[in-house]
Amino acid sequence: MSIDPRRLLGLAFASADLLVELRDGQVRLALGAAQRLVGRSEAALMNTAWSDLFHPDDRPLMDTVLACANDGLRRGPIVLRLAEDETRSVGVTLRALPENGGRISCAITTAHALAPALKPGELQPREAFDDIAKGLFEAARVTGVELELAMIEFSGLGALRDGLSPSEAAELDVRVAGAVRAESHGGSAATRLSEDRFALVRTRDNPQENMLQRLSALVSTPAMAQVVPLESPGNSARALRALRYALDDFLREGVKGAPRASLNDAMNRSVKRTLAQAGALGAIVSQRRFSLAFQPVVTLASGLAHHHEVLVRFEDGASPFAMIKMAEEFDLIEELDKAVVEQVVKRLAVNTDRSLRLAVNISGRTIGSDTFIDEVGRLLARFDEAKGRLIFEITETSEIDDLAFANQNIQALRAMGSMVCLDDFGAGSASFAYLQRLNLDIVKIDGRYVRELADNSRDGAMIRHLVQMCRDLKIRTVAEMVETPEVEDIVRNAGVDFAQGWLYGKASEKPSPALRTTAPVRAVARRAGASESWG
């Protein structure tokens, strides 16, 4: 069937603003909005070097794409900056049809940069890659583009680089970065994980075998890959966190309990293990399959228990820290925090000792949630006996993004009769910003500053200054990991209000009765050994 050439041209212009044909790296034909798109007329483009149209830092990427364009497959779109105006970018899609005499057809459209500009040899930092992948994933849900995460390993790349001169190593870096970027969506969604390993987001319409052939040829080192589809019918952010968690697990642990395996096997096992753990954690949270332990927090002036911190204990003795970290990665932390608060409120409601107060940990992510505040309000409305006896400890395991909004929620909790404590003060870089922007009742001093107080006068001086600053702000203080009478005396003399640690007892299944730090109790604590870590 013959087709009118004008119809073919119309179809082509429906998906591109400018059509270009290349041969031997030069423009042989240009049709379309050349002046508007690249700042040159169609006639001016003829017989010019194609790469010269693009920013010098982007030319190695374009050259890499051209170098492996003879396989007959469509490549791109790749977003490149223009040489004459680096603030403008275009998307380039190209294809070399078989038996076309070495000519390469290119379609050029207007485009926006997907990521910060890179120099030759550079790839996106890991943190930026996560954000780029998330943005691509969200866009893919709208456009229907199917994406996948590809893990690439070049066998022996690090050893090869070590044997090169500095200039040769720099040239290899440019070649590797160009090869990896050329396989990524938009030419920017790629990052280096280690000397030999890389990750990139790519479209699924390009066979994996072809990608490996191109990478191996360009880098002159055998390449292996494992691809993971980015599918999420519900929560794209959670899916990306799951893949990132699986990636971290694989890089950290490798193949557990087995000989060294291929990257495919290792990644498959890691993803399956991680997603299975995530599913199990979701079931644990929804079915409330966890228990609570209670550790006393003592008023230093009287030696009496002021309240008890609630610590979560999971099935089979799983590490609370690891499980909570996973809950944050998989966006389950708010549900876990709600579940723990629910259990604590119900316990307070049925407890006959109306002086019992319980402190529950919540994530920095949770305190920024309106739904969490609403849930607490509903619980306290149902269980009026718990009002005034619930304390919230905000942990720094997840950074608080919006301090003003978090403070609004903190004040809502305080209006319900609950005290709010900032946990592990000093452990995170944002501690002082939190203290400046959040109106709190209590600050808990990180245990690493407390534990060595008997041998380190500098930590003692720091705590004294911190206590005085909190006192000026009308905030009370807790010293955690108080293990010896000597450290207890130091924190008491520094003006700390409360203390917690093995000196006053381990975490137990039931809140212990009010304690006094008498000599017999101290002796028992000394025989007990080192302090329990905080859950």
DSSP 125-161: -HHHHHHHHHHHHHHHHHH---EEEEEEEETTHHHHH
Q: Looking at 227, 254, 276, which one is the last position of a domain?
A: 276
Is residue 116 domain-resident? no
Is residue 282 domain-resident? no
Where residue 534 falls among pLDDT bands split at 50, 70, 90?
very low
Q: Are 511 and 296 in contact (CB under 8 A)?
A: yes
Question: What pLDDT sits at residue 125?
Answer: 87
Please provide the DSSP assignment of 219-280 as one string.
HTS-EEEEEEE---SS-HHHHHHHHHHHHHHHHHH-STTS----HHHHHHHHHHHHHHHHHH
Question: What pLDDT sits at residue 272?
Answer: 60
Q: Are 261 and 168 in contact (CB under 8 A)?
A: no
Residue 127 has pLDDT above 60, yes or no: yes
pLDDT in tens, 507-529: 899 887 655 444 334 433 333 33
CATH number at residue 208: 3.30.70.270
pLDDT in tens, 79-89: 999 998 888 89
Where residue 9 falls among pLDDT bands split at 50, 70, 90?
low
Question: What pLDDT sits at residue 238?
Answer: 56
Mean pLDDT of the chain: 81
CATH number at residue 42: 3.30.450.20
Q: Could you tell me if 522 and 470 lie in one domain?
A: yes
Range ranked top by mean pLDDT from 71-80, 129-138, 231-240: 71-80
Question: What pLDDT sits at residue 297?
Answer: 95
Where residue 153 falls among pLDDT bands split at 50, 70, 90?
confident
Amino acid at 278: A
Residue 263 has pLDDT above 50, yes or no: no
Mean pLDDT in residue range 71-75: 75
Residue 8 has pLDDT above 70, yes or no: no
Is residue 498 domain-resident? yes
Domains in the chain, number = 3
> Regarding predicted confidence, which is higher, 134 or 413?
413
pTM: 0.56
Q: Could you tell me if 174 and 103 lie in one domain?
A: no
Where residue 176 falls among pLDDT bands split at 50, 70, 90?
very high
Question: What pLDDT sits at residue 414?
Answer: 96
Q: Could you tell me if 505 and 365 lie in one domain?
A: yes
Q: Could you tell me if 365 and 498 lie in one domain?
A: yes
Q: Could you tell me if 83 and 220 lie in one domain?
A: no
Mean pLDDT in residue range 100-109: 85
Supply the range of the domain harboring residue 67.
Answer: 5-111
Is residue 192 domain-resident? yes
SS3 at position 399: coil
Q: How many helices (H) and strands (E) does the chain have?
A: 19, 17
Q: Return the percentage of the chain with pLDDT > 70, whole number.
A: 79
Q: Could you tell me if 103 and 145 lie in one domain?
A: no
Where residue 531 falls among pLDDT bands split at 50, 70, 90?
very low
Determine the Cα–Cα distance for residues 378 and 342; give it in Å rounded to an integer: 10
Is residue 86 domain-resident? yes
- CA-nearest of 293, 319, 297 to 306 is 297
Q: Could you tell me if 24 and 142 lie in one domain?
A: no
Q: Could you tell me if 370 and 508 lie in one domain?
A: yes
End-to-end C-alpha distance for the chain, whole angstroms: 73
Is residue 533 domain-resident? no
Mean pLDDT in residue range 427-440: 78
Q: Could you tell me if 328 and 421 lie in one domain?
A: yes
Instruction: Pick the range with the lowest mean pLDDT from 116-120, 374-378, 411-415.
Output: 116-120
Is residue 281 domain-resident? no
Question: What pLDDT sits at residue 242?
Answer: 60
Mean pLDDT in residue range 87-102: 82
Question: What pLDDT sits at residue 293?
Answer: 94
**Which residue shows structure tokens 């007329």?**
41
SS3 at position 530: coil
Question: What pLDDT sits at residue 326?
Answer: 78
Q: Could you tell me if 323 and 453 lie in one domain?
A: yes
Q: Could you tell me if 202 and 181 lie in one domain?
A: yes
CATH number at residue 293: 3.20.20.450
Q: Looking at 230, 248, 276, which one is the last position of a domain?
A: 276
pLDDT in tens, 198-244: 888 888 877 888 888 889 988 988 888 877 666 544 455 555 666 66
Q: Looking at 247, 276, 305, which one is the last position of a domain?
A: 276
Q: Could you tell me if 361 and 506 lie in one domain?
A: yes
pLDDT in tens, 35-63: 988 889 999 999 999 999 999 999 998 88
Residue 246 has pLDDT above 80, yes or no: no
Is residue 201 domain-resident? yes
Question: What pLDDT sits at residue 280?
Answer: 79
